[in-house]
Amino acid sequence: MTNLEKLRNEFREDPHYREIEMENELEYAFIRDLIQFQIDHQLTRTQLARLIEMKQSNLSRLLSGSHSPSLETVNKIYLALGKKVTLVIR
């Protein structure tokens, strides 16, 4: 086990950390999906931005995690990628 994995496991034992991690899980999944789509389709950041009809600078803010998208924006992006968004509340 690497030092990073050990540290991550220690943090996961902290209830506050787990709460923050759960709050950000959806946003991280969205970012991972965008990056994976970009890789799978061998797109530059500019090409991806054009595809989803967004300024490249706004896309960069989304991918860096410095901006949280609205549900409307998430839906618009997934539709441009040919995917459907379904919201499930548990």
The pLDDT score that the predictor gives to residue 42 is 97
55 domain residue, yes or no: yes
The pLDDT score that the predictor gives to residue 17 is 73
Q: Output the tens digit of pLDDT for each of the chain's 90 residues.
A: 788 788 777 777 877 777 777 777 888 888 999 999 999 999 999 999 999 999 999 999 999 888 888 889 999 999 999 999 888 887
24 domain residue, yes or no: yes
61 domain residue, yes or no: yes
The pLDDT score that the predictor gives to residue 52 is 95
Q: Distance between CA 27 and CA 89 in Å, rounded?
A: 15
47 domain residue, yes or no: yes
60 domain residue, yes or no: yes
Q: How many domains does the chain have?
A: 1
49 domain residue, yes or no: yes
The pLDDT score that the predictor gives to residue 34 is 94
Q: Distance between CA 73 and CA 54 in Å, rounded?
A: 10
Q: Is the CA virtual torsion 54, 60, 65, 67 positive or negative?
A: negative
Is the entire prediction scored with pTM above 0.85? no
Q: Distance between CA 45 and CA 87 in Å, rounded?
A: 27
88 domain residue, yes or no: no
Determine the structural domain holding residue 24 and report its residue range: 3-80
* CATH number of the domain enclosing 24: 1.10.260
